């Protein structure tokens, strides 16, 4: 069922504590942890505890939690003292999405090119 934990989902397993992660923040509805393959000095993933396949599906079903994710991206940036940072939601395999549990990448701590590749 939408929103329920999925057995084969890596990020649901991190939420459940079944797979270790370097968790930097947690709220009632979200967790934030460092990406295992960082692309910048700060590379943190902010995810909802509920399972939705991407940010758009999350926003449609749980706009409250989608707002919590955005609030937490700023909190991650504040914790790492970032003045500038980028929030990315890869959506679809053509855009590089590999984990089908909604997540925001928070990237910062180095110069970021625009437009991105
Ligand atoms: P996507 O490519 O779906 O936008 O982002 C998935 C991200 O999850 C990638 O940046 C990848 O490095 C990260 N990732 C994949 N497996 C793990 C893991 O087991 N632990 C952590 N912390 N990050 C992971
Ligand atoms: Zn999941």
pLDDT by residue (tens digit) across 34-60?
A: 999 999 999 999 999 999 999 999 999
Measure 97 CA to ligand 1 centroid, in angstroms: 9
Query: Does residue 1 line the site of ligand 1, with CB under 6 A?
Result: no
According to CATH, the topology of domain 10-108 is HIT family, subunit A (3.30.428)
Domain ranges of the chain: 10-108
Measure 5 CA to ligand 2 centroid, in angstroms: 6
Compute the distance between CA of residue 50 and CA of residue 58 in angstroms, rounded to an integer.
9
Q: Are 103 and 47 in contact (CB under 8 A)?
A: yes
Give the model confidence (pLDDT) of 57-91 as tens digits.
999 999 999 999 999 999 999 999 999 999 999 99
**pTM to 2 decimal places:** 0.98
């Amino acid at each position: 069922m939408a929103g329920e934990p999925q057995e084969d989902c890596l990020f649901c397993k991190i939420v459940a504590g079944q797979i270790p992660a370097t968790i930097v923040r947690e709220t009632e509805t979200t967790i934030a942890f460092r990406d295992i393959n960082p692309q910048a000095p700060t590379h943190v993933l902010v995810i909802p505890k509920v399972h939705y396949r991407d940010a758009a599906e999350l926003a449609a079903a749980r706009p409250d939690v989608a707002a919590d994710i955005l609030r937490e991206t700023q909190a991650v940036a504040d914790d790492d003292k970032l003045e500038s940072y980028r929030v990315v939601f890869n959506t679809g395999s053509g855009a590089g999405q590999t984990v089908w549990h909604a997540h925001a990448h928070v990237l910062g701590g180095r110069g970021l090119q625009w437009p991105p590749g």
